Amino acid sequence: MTRALRIAGIALLAFAAWQALVTLTGLPRFILPGPGLVFGTLWTSRALIAEHAVVTATEVLLGLGLGAVLGFGSAILLAASPLARSVLRPMLVFSQAVPVFALAPILTLWLGYGLWSKVAMALLIIYFPVTSAFFDALMRTPPGWLELARVMNAAPSRILWRIRVPAALPGFASGLRLAAVYAPIGAIIGEWVGASRGLGYLMLLANGRAKIDLMFAALIVLAVLTLLVHAAVDALCRRLWER
């Protein structure tokens, strides 16, 4: 309850500062609409915004789920196999060296303007942080635990699954928390490059038609969606692995 009140207080201060900026500077509404106008548009266009928000939420959740599964498997493969580390780690680093915006048109060309090009974009942007966080945690298993397991003649596979993986799950949770914030970025970039639905598409459409209040309303919904996904992932991680 205290956390919710704190968040509500910060939000109220931000909106008050927003209104003060609009009032004091006299900026026209096509440059910076006031919060009253934006929330009015949010209410009157709620059905339209909700329709596009569902599409973006689906892209984010699918990308997050696939990224979590692939990142989990990749990190275990890297931790278990020196050959995989020598081959895959440079590829992971290279995937982050290529700008995300440069890959979005290619994914759209390959996968089309539908759902899966955006899911792939979200997956691409979160795969590295999930894999990297979990792999680093797997490689930081307390040496005493590993020595004790070897003294007891435990097989490498049992050491991996019974000791290293459970000890590294908090690191995996950290990667998922980062992914929950990054996944909407990937989905929105994909929608900006080519889409017919989604909050990113709606923002571009509103901007092109000079409906800046609608653009800000979609942006607020996107921010709320990101916060909700992060809060859900954080609560799930705490429940499963950090009790």
**pLDDT value for 1:** 56
CA distance 130 to 45: 36
pLDDT in tens, 62-96: 999 999 999 999 999 999 888 888 888 888 888 77
Which parts of the chain register pLDDT below 70? Answer: 1, 242-243
Q: What is the pTM of this model?
A: 0.91
**pLDDT value for 155:** 87
**pLDDT value for 10:** 84
CA distance 85 to 115: 32
**pLDDT value for 204:** 93
The architecture of the domain spanning 37-241 is Orthogonal Bundle (1.10)
Query: What are the sequence ranges of the domains in the chain?
Result: 37-241
Q: Decide: 103 and 161 in contact? Cβ < 8 Å.
A: no
Which are the contacts of 123, defined by CB distance < 8 A and separation ≥ 6? 63, 66, 67, 70, 186
